[in-house]
Structure 1
Amino acid sequence: MSKSSHTTHRDLKWALQQQAKRAGERAPSVRGADWRLATVTTLNTNGTLVADGITVRRMDTYQAPAVGDVIVITQSGNGNWLAWGRLAGATAPNGAWTTLPLLAGFTTPHGAGFGVAQYRVINAFGTGRVEMRGTVGCNTALTAQTNVTSALPVDARPSASRRLVLGRTYSATAVGAVAAEMTSGGVLSVFGSTSPSTGFFSLDGIYYDL
């Protein structure tokens, strides 16, 4: 039994509606804004990156990106993509605490109850920043300039050397502070006398901008 003209037109209308719906689901101009999770695979030098095959522009708050970051990306109604930033638990050193690479003559932590000397790269007010914490035991002479660490990864190195003031072994007659520097090459140095020290210095509360 053949279909009536009315039934044929109704079926054709339904098929066209379904086709338009499927096309709209794929077209950002129809679908509107959307967001999803993606993994960073490529870092570009123009403020963009590639995540899951999509070229995305980073927001200013997404500092120190790294391949492997799991990020939130969002799409506007006209198809433009933005990267909001990484999620918690990103691969170290971006956002995760990492033990400082100390040179011979220095140990961490300094005694029981003190924290391990660590650093992490974070975003602070739209700018990349490195925070540090913990204590370092000093079993070597602190000369005019004594390197404490080997070079940190590129993402943790400041654009210029940063001067720091660290807490140090103190007593009624000894000054409880020591001058320090994080070089643009990513090496932490301290400055002191030529006499050997069996004390410590603290990194708690210390940070520098990238």
Structure 2
Amino acid sequence: MPKVGMKPLRQHQLIEATLLSVERHGLMGTTISTIAQLAGVSTGIINHYFGGKQGLLAATVRFLLQSLHDELMKELRQINPEDSVARLRAIIKANFAQIQTSDKASKTWLAFWSQAMHDPEFSALQQVNERRLLSNLRFSFRRLLPKERVEEAAQTTAALIDGLWLRMALSTHPISVADSGNYCMAYVQGVIRQSQTQANVTHKTLGTRRHD
């Protein structure tokens, strides 16, 4: 009879082995055998818990998504919930956290994004990831920008996060985590300042017209 609590421990062990296998062998080179060898278990254990390689790969991606969510919640607990700029900084920081930028995670994300173009299950997970990021960005920008600027700001910030993360993962001279976060925040602060300047100009213009 299996020990109580063994299932989640074994599943986590297999997910960690999957991340390591993808790092070492790539997605195509990762097999049930390579994962089982790294985890120190029989191949039958993988089939028992996940139904095979595809199920384990999907579980590994869900693990990365949950880790990203947990990291964001941790960052948000440390700020004033009414401070929308701090909230945007927390979103950016979470996306460049160590769990998301390590070699194991980076190579798995890259393999996942490539596979998402052809695999409906991975595509659905990617859409969850995209919707979650954009929803969080829109929520914060709505408190800072006119409604007609919110979508553009959210989409551009999301593209900066993804693009800088990709540069970090692929470049032989990658941008640092700190610089990546700073570049994203520079855009965020710039678009907020621009909006505030335009609002002030409009306010002054209207005031002048009223006095005329």
Asked if these proteins are the same fold (TM beyond 0.5), I'd say no
| Rg (Cα) greater in structure | 1
Task: Give the TM-score normalised by structure 2.
Answer: 0.31
Task: Give the TM-score normalised by structure 1.
Answer: 0.31
Q: Higher helix share goes to which structure?
A: 2
Q: Higher strand share goes to which structure?
A: 1
